[in-house]
Amino acid sequence: MAEKHQRERRSFPRPPLWLNLLLLLLGIAVFAYARYDRQRVSTRFARVLAEEARTPADVKQMKEQLAELSLTEDALKQELEGRMKFVTSLKSENFYLSIDSKARKLRFYYGDTVLREADIAIGEAKTLTANGRSWTFIPLKGAFPIEAKIVGYDWRVPEWLDPARPTIPNGLGKYVLFLPNGYVIHSPPSEASPLKGPKPGSYMVPEETLAAIWERIHKGTPVYIY
């Protein structure tokens, strides 16, 4: 009986030593890789956090806004142009302006430092007609240089506002920054002006804000509108 019982016990042979070693090595390898992967993820996450910490709030906000926008291909191209050039300017040592259309803010920068910030009014997009002609105004998006700046501009009123086209001192406001294609950044118009509020498609900024930054702005100063 003892002999039979001994034979039954020996019917389940032990795995060979090499298989045990192989399983042990596989287990060690899996553990080591898991530990390496956790460290790699932690390092990458720490890098992301550090990068976010170095990223100005302005840029982080733009990333979030851009992800939410539903844009045509051309509109997206304009958005990206303005934003990418803006991000590049954050690393510069120059003065420039940014206009955040969603937040309705104008910011005056030196490198990545905001020197001045103000609320703005945006001229609505519209098509106007007069004397059989039409004009379509769409707020600018993108990167543009300032083409000129004038204090005390004598503004000749356009046809779409007054067919008689009188010239009004400070008709666009005391301070006017000219952008391409007739668009402007201007302070509030004088009481004598038929323009009440921002010029269509353009941007109206408080007079004290433009007065404060006026000496630092010149022809060619970049403006990033997004």
Cα gap 191→168, rounded to integer Å: 10
Residue 84, H or E segment: helix 73-89
Banded model confidence at residue 179, pLDDT cuts 50, 70, 90: very high
Q: Are 141 and 126 spatial neighbours (Cβ–Cβ below 8 Å)?
A: no
The rounded percent of the chain whose pLDDT value lies above 90 is 46
Choose from 13-17, 35-39, 111-115 the range with maximum mean pLDDT.
Answer: 111-115
123-162: per-residue pLDDT in tens? 988 898 888 889 898 888 889 999 999 999 999 999 999 9
Cα gap 110→90, rounded to integer Å: 8
Q: Are 214 and 149 spatial neighbours (Cβ–Cβ below 8 Å)?
A: yes
Cα gap 104→99, rounded to integer Å: 7
- Residue whose C-alpha is closest to residue 170's, from 198, 192, 197: 192
Q: Which domains does the chain have, with CATH numbers?
A: 57-225 (2.40.440.10)
Banded model confidence at residue 26, pLDDT cuts 50, 70, 90: confident
Structure confidence at residue 131 (pLDDT): 85
pTM above 0.75, yes or no: no
Cα gap 180→223, rounded to integer Å: 11
pLDDT surpassing 90 at residue 190? yes
- Residue whose C-alpha is closest to residue 61's, from 102, 112, 1, 122: 102
44-54 average pLDDT score: 49
| Residue 216: partners with Cβ closer than 8 Å, 6 or more residues away | 95, 108
Banded model confidence at residue 80, pLDDT cuts 50, 70, 90: low
pLDDT surpassing 70 at residue 50? no
Cα gap 217→96, rounded to integer Å: 8
Structure confidence at residue 72 (pLDDT): 59
The rounded percent of the chain whose pLDDT value lies above 70 is 64
- Top-confidence residue, 81 or 226: 226
Structure confidence at residue 169 (pLDDT): 96
85-98 average pLDDT score: 73
Structure confidence at residue 40 (pLDDT): 56
